[in-house]
Structure 1
């Protein structure tokens, strides 16, 4: 009886600990939380000038996301931004910038894979495929994920994955992340407003409405 009770308590404790770890991953770090209030970034257009654009070039609202393909909160935000783009049509575009965290050992290679898919016009499809495969990143072959993303030339993709030039993209994005004082993912700009975390759709919509009003003045 005592042995059964001990086993039950261990299972309960394991569930609680797992829940706390998941919750921590889905929220900004403590360092980020203190800076999570919206911050005005007057030079925001410079951050939107580079990166992979998903959406129209003339969208009045551009969301520049510094993200990490192994970050659970980034996956949540990516899903919400996809919904927003579908709802908002040509009013909203997303620009993806890389900020792979050191705590995520495969994030840099995932970033490289997205850029290599982008060379074949499949960045957005690879972006979506990487987030959908997040739990298996690092255990599956990059070719397998690229096939799901519709990358046509796998030989070219493989050569690109070994191309040292791809590191320059990560260096560029890291420098701009540093300029913005980014220490957590996802950090993103909605035009000139910087935010940190996977905000609910209602909050994102409020910020987009504000940005639209300002853009149309």
Structure 2
């Protein structure tokens, strides 16, 4: 599983800044409470943080709060801009810009200020935010050794912010925008064309498709959570597996070929049986499954030898590239692409009886 550590993520996203504004006075306790809730939503619970400073920001109506997070590199600053009385905050880098500039030009200028010229970028989408007068621009940025990454810029009257926007209940509105953009690159129909659900019932009102790797520990954890949901909601939930072996897992590809060629009702059992094995090729996969008492039908062997398994993997990779899937598990659910299994959202949909 390819993960970005919180330090690296922070460094990439550090445009921790929100529109900030010089108010004559502000409720320091309310500002600090919002800032702490944002920090808690961003960082692991075992990371030590401390407040460094707080004061009026150069943009009217916002307060700047600076915190620090402890890491192996020492204390890393986190700049937050809290909107007074509106429960909104930016975390990122803010730049003062010419108010007469067009909104798109402001966004491009903010990106130029934030990122070195060698980071190629292109605009993916733009739109309004829940904050009056503030627009969002989502860019695709080519980050060396990490590939394409979505990065957001926000602009208003005389400023630009590169970073993330948090709204009421500390919802990461930037992450939601990225999820919706990624999910919009493919349709559900084309994503699961020719597939049957591995979990639950076909045609169930709540459905998801998970990009997964046979050697991904987090995917195994997600599978256990899915199994628990299926025990109670088999008729209301359907889950599809999209086999996406990462290059970092050198034993995953032959497993994925066999799994992609197997019937849905066999894949879950095979997924478990292959855990921890290190096959060099598909013949080793067959041998492992036999040792675990899992039959491999001749139809599966023919599918693999004909190259159809490889064709399925190629098709999934094309979808992954369109949606900028860089880690597993990544889950397409309700028109959005989630990093990790969106258990809370799915449980809420099952409780309410609403579909995806």
- Could you tell me the TM-score, scaled by structure 2's length? 0.44
Question: Hey, what does 2:335 align to over in structure 1?
Answer: 192
Confirm or deny: 8 A CA contact 1:69 1:111 kept in the other structure: yes
Q: Is 1:86 aligned with 2:231? A: yes
Task: Give the one of 154, 177, 182 matched to 2:325.
Answer: 182
Q: Is 1:136 aligned with 2:287? A: no
Task: Using CA pairs under 8 Å that are at least 6 residues apart, name the structure with larger relative contact order, 1 or 2.
Answer: 1
Structure 2: unaligned runs, 5 residues or longer: 14-149, 151-171
Q: Is 1:170 aligned with 2:313? A: yes
Equivalent-residue separation in structure 1 for 2:252 and 2:9 (angstroms): 20
Q: Secondary structure at the match of 2:242?
A: strand
Equivalent-residue separation in structure 1 for 2:207 and 2:4 (angstroms): 25
Equivalent-residue separation in structure 2 for 1:131 and 1:173 (angstroms): 21
Any idea what the Cα deviations from partners look like across 1:70-100, whole Å, max 9, x if unmatched?
1111111112112111121211111111211
Q: How does 1:68-79 map to 2 (within 5 A)?
A: 68-79=213-224
Q: Is 1:151 aligned with 2:295? A: yes
Confirm or deny: 8 A CA contact 2:304 2:310 kept in the other structure: no
The Cα shift of 1:176 comes to 0.7
Question: Hey, what does 2:31 align to over in structure 1?
Answer: none
Number of paired residues? 183
Confirm or deny: 8 A CA contact 1:53 1:94 kept in the other structure: yes
Q: 1:150 to 1:181 in 2, by over 3 A?
A: same
Q: Secondary structure at the match of 1:178?
A: helix
Q: Is 1:112 aligned with 2:257? A: yes
Equivalent-residue separation in structure 2 for 1:174 and 1:92 (angstroms): 25
Larger Rg: 2
| Greater per-residue helix proportion | 1
| Greater per-residue strand proportion | 2
Q: 1:145 to 1:82 in 2, by over 3 A?
A: farther
Cα RMSD after superposing both structures: 3.2
Q: Is 1:48 aligned with 2:23? A: no
The Cα shift of 1:207 comes to 3.6
Structure 1: unaligned runs, 5 residues or longer: 1-24
Q: 1:216 to 1:72 in 2, by over 3 A?
A: closer
Question: Hey, what does 1:29 align to over in structure 2?
Answer: 4
Question: Hey, what does 1:127 align to over in structure 2?
Answer: 268
Equivalent-residue separation in structure 1 for 2:204 and 2:214 (angstroms): 25
Q: 1:156 to 1:44 in 2, by over 3 A?
A: closer
Any idea what the Cα deviations from partners look like across 1:123-181, whole Å, max 9, x if unmatched?
4433333334321232793223444464363x444443322232111111111111111
Q: Secondary structure at the match of 1:57?
A: coil
Question: After alignment, is 130-139 or 34-43 more displaced?
Answer: 34-43
Q: 1:64 to 1:134 in 2, by over 3 A?
A: same
